[in-house]
Structure 1
Amino acid sequence: MTERTQRINAWPADITALLARIVVGAVFIAHGLQKIGTGVDGVAQGFGSMGIPLPQVAAVTAMTVEIGGGLALIVGFALPAAGAALAAFMVGAYTFAHVGDALVGGYEVVLVLGASALALGFSGGSLAVDRFLPWGTRRAETVRAAV
């Protein structure tokens, strides 16, 4: 298979990965903006009532990770780091807010968002800013060499 044929065959996967990155990234951004609307003190008070340590720091960090990580997913910048950070926050959300809940009506959103962020972080397609940066070029060459 020629390199051109491989690129053409990759387009459906790259486009669907981009669409998924946009949707998942937008959901994280919306959650971060919702927290900003509530205010750091309001979010910190809620976090404190859930037993989250250092609630003020956690509130600012959550806002930053959700908005920054969501934007990074959408544009495809530092995808592995963004996906891992967002997934880690979903583990925290599960641990502090959803342990013991049922899957449906409980932790399904946290589970889907965390798994999606992680998957998109490590296989988010080539329609990403990362592709044009030195680490993205190396990763693409490594993948081509392995195939």
Structure 2
Amino acid sequence: MGISRNFASFVARVLLGIIFIAHGWQKFHTMKISGTTSFFDSVGIPFPKAAAYYATWVELAGGVLLILGVLVPLVSILLIADMIGAIAYVHADKGFWNSDGGWEWPAALIAGLLAVGLAGTGRIGGDHYLTGRFRRS
């Protein structure tokens, strides 16, 4: 992976990480787990308390791990599952456009997660060092 691809992967991971940290923090600090649970229950999400904990912590911890470039493929899968749930239970019946509450935004996040999850971290990320990927790029 050349320097520009390494840098592009890094920037994408950082931006996605910031977005997910912000959404996880909103669930944790602003809405609290109880508010998130109530909302999830109101839209019919099964096991709303467990789902609230999952969404909150996968977004907070996953965002941090994306920024650090650690376990990026696994984190991407967990966050994609989170976004699929958001689309299925909150956004699908509102159409496409984000301005109408539709599925445009979580779909864009899924696209970004697919890209970084499949591309890997390159040289600018913890996975590169943790997995011993010291080959020339």
Larger Rg: 1
Q: What is the aligned partner in structure 1 of residue 69 from structure 2? A: 76
Higher share in helix: 1
Deviations 1:75-116 (A, max 9, x none): 110111011111111001000001122212211110011121
Deviations 1:23-75 (A, max 9, x none): 01100000000001211111000000010011111111111100111111111
User: What's the TM-score, normalizing by structure 1?
Assistant: 0.83
Structure 1 consecutive aligned stretches of length 4 or more whose deviation exceeds 2 Å: none
From 119, 126, 130, give the equivalent of 1:129: 126
From 26, 50, 55, give the equivalent of 1:62: 55
Q: Which runs of 5+ in 1 are unaligned?
A: 1-6
Q: Give how far 1:118 is off.
A: 2.2
Q: How does 1:102-141 map to 2 (within 5 A)?
A: 102-105=95-98, 106-126=102-122, 127-134=124-131, 137=133
Root mean square deviation of aligned Cα: 1.8
Q: How does 1:81-96 map to 2 (within 5 A)?
A: 81-96=74-89
Secondary structure of the equivalent of 2:112?
Answer: helix
Hey, what's the Cα distance between the residues in 2 that align with 1:121 and 1:63?
20
Count of aligned pairs: 132
Q: What is the aligned partner in structure 1 of residue 15 from structure 2? A: 23
Q: What is the aligned partner in structure 2 of residue 43 from structure 1? A: 36
Hey, what's the Cα distance between the residues in 2 that align with 1:116 and 1:124?
12
Hey, what's the Cα distance between the residues in 2 that align with 1:67 and 1:50?
22
User: What's the TM-score, normalizing by structure 2?
Assistant: 0.89
